[in-house]
Chains A and B, each alone.
Chain A
Amino acid sequence: MHASIAQLENVVKRYGAITALDGVNLRLHPGELLALLGPNGAGKSTAVSLLLGLQRVDAGRATLFGLDPQSLDARRRIGVMLQEAALQQSLRVDELIRLTMSYYPRPREFGSVALMAGIEELLPRRYGKLSGGQKRRVQFALAICGDPRILFLDEPTVGLDLGARTAMWKTLRALVASGCAIVLTTHYLEEAEALADRVAVMARGRIIAEGSVDEIRAHVAQRRIRCISALSAETLRAWPDVSQAEREGEHLHIVCGAAEAVLRRLLAADPELRELEVRRAGLAEAFVEITNDAGAGSVEQKEAA
């Protein structure tokens, strides 16, 4: 068992009558990228702001490096990129970086910060004159400039074009390889799929599934079959195990339980069948299934109670 460097233990957080977090346990280990997923209002941002010491728990415990998250010693080892932060519009990008670097005991070298965030050409420009995507990259530079042990990134790639997003992913992978732990909240499931060592899915203030991307995907037993065939979608829908069948041009798309049985029958029914593909459902399908199940589960709990 690794030592955890950030931890929530049985944490409860309420806003008036609303329970934002309801007994959440979460551990972050050195050098791992943990993706926090969940629909809006699931409690992701609350969990992050408790770990950042921006809010206090109502019950349970939040720790950073074993310390109170509000302590300066803990904060000197983290970097932060929040969703909404209007930085000083009239300061230049290089000035913002130097200002943030001054808070840290051993910041990264200035040149390497600019390089890692891909903002070298933005350095002499005023922050207020930048586009949304450029501002996001500058905020990323501020998050990494202190050479943190943990990086908290709240929706970091929103507003980035494809090139900038790929570049940020590359930097994130390099940071994780160098031993930095990252907590990432994102709406882009392909982002979590591409980067995360571990995924925690939240809904209604609880963590309802946790594990590697493959473990989460394994929650979905369903397979997707795609092929070119003369069989009609209606015929297929009547088969056992087939939950969905659609035609798109000459392609058939089938979602089914036990793929092997459906495949045997498919091949037998249409000898002309071509371009066969079978794959497991992705994180996106798993996510939908898990959050739906959680909704059903909570109803059952209420009825049992």
Chain B
Amino acid sequence: MDTAIAMSPARIARAWLVEAKYEFLRLLRTPSFALPTILFPSLFYLLFGVLLNGGAHHGGMDMASYMLAGYSAFGVMAPGLFGFGVVVAMEREHGLLTLKRALPMPPGAYLFAKMLMAMLFAAIVVCLLMLLAVTLGHVRMPLGNWSALLITDVLGVLPFCAIGLFVGTLVGGQGAPAVVNLIYLPMSFLSGLWIPLPLLPKFLQQLAPLWPATHLGQIAFSASGAGGDHRVAMHAMVLAGFTLFFFAIARRRLRRAG
């Protein structure tokens, strides 16, 4: 019987990257995922952040930067929530996940590939928004703020990957888009990504810390110098907590239900 069946670490690393490459490619080629994910944040930003907002200042807040930071946080939630929630639900339902479990796919490659895919989409979304912000939105910030915002958003997709994954293990492929939208859109509003939190009713302001998007939003506002409460470390820890919590329960469910 054959003995040398171990894979070299280089070959395993390669398998992870190949998985990530094709995960990205296939979603890029899926218009129902790629078009809304990439274009909706830009369209919303153009409409509400540029056309309907004449670069006003509100209570000392630079609204142009605020809008950019808010819509960028809104934009990067989508590849995480949809890329995991809807895609995992469909793959569970259609048997792809079963096939992958029978195949010798390196453990972790499946989630790694989707995380990298979501971060790449997040980077595309944010870069597009930044391009619009510079050319049409009259946003002027020091270079440090631009890069801080980019890093915030690209990493900020991760908690929403975890939430998406959890949703994907709960619902079927048909229901997943609706469930994800029910989480995505209300949470964006309640977290002050479209309208600054201080302008929302007191009651909603008090609930805001419950939503993960609030914490991503606060970091993004701080990163862009457009307000925010500047308690970056605290918000980052909360987001890390959300990420670990949802990944952990999703993994448990995947192992049981698979």
Q: Decide whether A and B are members of one complex.
A: yes
Using a CB–CB cutoff of 8 Å, the interface residues on chain A facing chain B are 3, 5, 52-54, 65, 72-73, 75-78, 80, 82, 84-91, 95, 98-100, 102-105, 126, 146, 149, 152
Please tell me if the beta carbons of B94 and A80 are within 8 angstroms of each other in the complex: no
Q: Tell me which residues across on chain A come within 8 A of B104, comparing CB atoms.
A: 72, 75-76, 78, 103-104, 146
Partner of A54, one of B98, B105, B106: B98
Q: How far is the CB of B20 from chain A (nearest CB, A)?
A: 11
Q: Which of B29, B30, B103, B258 has the most CB of A within 10 A?
A: B103
Question: Is the beta-carbon distance between A82 and B95 smaller than 8 angstroms?
Answer: yes
A99 to B103, CA, bound (A): 11
Cross-chain contact A103 with B15 (CB below 8 angstroms): yes
Interface size on B, residues (CB 8 A): 31
Task: Please tell me if B178 contacts chain A, counting CB pairs below 8 Å.
Answer: no
Chain A CB within 8 A of B229 CB: no
Given known contacts A87-B96, A88-B22, A90-B27, what 18 new A-B pairs fall within 8 Å (CB)?
A52-B102, A75-B103, A80-B102, A82-B102, A84-B95, A85-B98, A85-B99, A86-B90, A86-B94, A89-B26, A90-B30, A99-B19, A102-B15, A102-B18, A102-B19, A103-B106, A105-B4, A105-B6
Instruction: From B4, B26, B105, give the contact of A103 (CB < 8 A).
Output: B105
Q: Which residues of A contact B25 (CB under 8 A)?
A: 90-91, 95
Check if B11 is an interface residue, CB within 8 A of chain A: yes
Asked if B5 contacts A105 (CB within 8 A), the reply is yes
A146 to chain B: closest residue by CB: B104
Across the interface, name the chain B residue whose C-beta is closest to A86: B94
A85: chain B residues at CB < 8 Å are: 94-96, 98-99
Interface residue B60 (Cβ < 8 Å from any Cβ of A): no
B201 lies within 8 A of chain A by Cβ: no
- Are the C-beta atoms of A82 and B98 separated by less than 8 Å? yes
B15 touching A54 by the CB < 8 A rule? no
- Most chain A CB within a 10 A radius of its CB, from B7, B27, B30, B258: B7
Across the interface, B103 reaches (CB within 8 A) one of A80, A90, A95, A105, namely A80
A-B residue pairs, 7 tightest by C-beta: A86-B94, A90-B29, A75-B104, A102-B18, A76-B104, A102-B15, A85-B99
| Residue contact B7 to A95, C-beta cutoff 8 Å | no
A75 to B98, CA, bound (A): 13
Q: Is there a chain A Cβ closer than 8 Å to B59's Cβ? A: no
Chain B residues in the interface with A (C-beta under 8 A): 1-2, 4-7, 11, 14-15, 18-19, 22, 25-27, 29-30, 90, 94-96, 98-99, 101-107, 258
CA distance A248 to B40 in the complex (A): 70
The smallest C-beta distance from B252 to any residue of chain A, in angstroms, reads 16
Across-interface contacts of B4 in A (CB, < 8 A)? 105
Q: Are B1 and A3 in contact (CB under 8 A)?
A: yes
Residues of A within 8 A of B11 (CB): 102, 105
**Min CB–CB distance B125 → chain A (angstroms):** 20
Q: Which residues of B contact A100 (CB under 8 A)?
A: 103
A74 to B207 CA separation, bound complex (whole angstroms): 51
**A to B CB contacts below 8 Å, 17 in the list:** A53-B102, A75-B103, A80-B102, A84-B95, A85-B94, A86-B90, A86-B94, A87-B99, A89-B26, A90-B25, A99-B22, A102-B14, A102-B18, A105-B5, A105-B6, A105-B7, A146-B104
The interface residues of chain A lying within 8 Å CB-to-CB of B5 are 73, 76-77, 105
Residues of A within 8 A of B101 (CB): 53-54
- Name the B residues within 8 Å of A95 (CB-CB): 22, 25
What's the nearest-Cβ distance from chain A to residue B150, in Å? 28
Cα A5 to Cα B2 with chains together (Å): 11
Bound Cα distance A87, B95 (Å): 8
Smallest Cβ distance from A251 to chain B, in angstroms? 47
Report the minimum CB–CB distance from B10 to chain A (whole Å).
Answer: 12
Contact B99 A91 (CB under 8 A): no
Which residues on the A side are within 8 Å of B27 (C-beta)?
Answer: 90
Say which residue of B2, B19, B30 sits within 8 Å of A77 (CB atoms).
B2
User: Across the interface, do A98 and B18 meet the contact criterion of CB distance under 8 Å?
Assistant: yes
Note all chain A residues with C-beta closer than 8 A to B103. 75, 80, 100, 103
* Residue contact A86 to B18, C-beta cutoff 8 Å: no
Contact, CB under 8 Å: A91 / B26: yes
Whether A84 contacts B22 by the Cβ 8 Å rule is no
Complex: how many Å from CA A126 to CA B95? 19
The distance from the CB of B52 to the nearest CB of chain A, in whole angstroms, is 36
For the complex, give the distance between the alpha carbons of A89 and B104 in Å. 21
Q: Complex Cα distance A247/B99, Å?
A: 50
Say yes or no: B102 contacts A99, CB within 8 Å: no
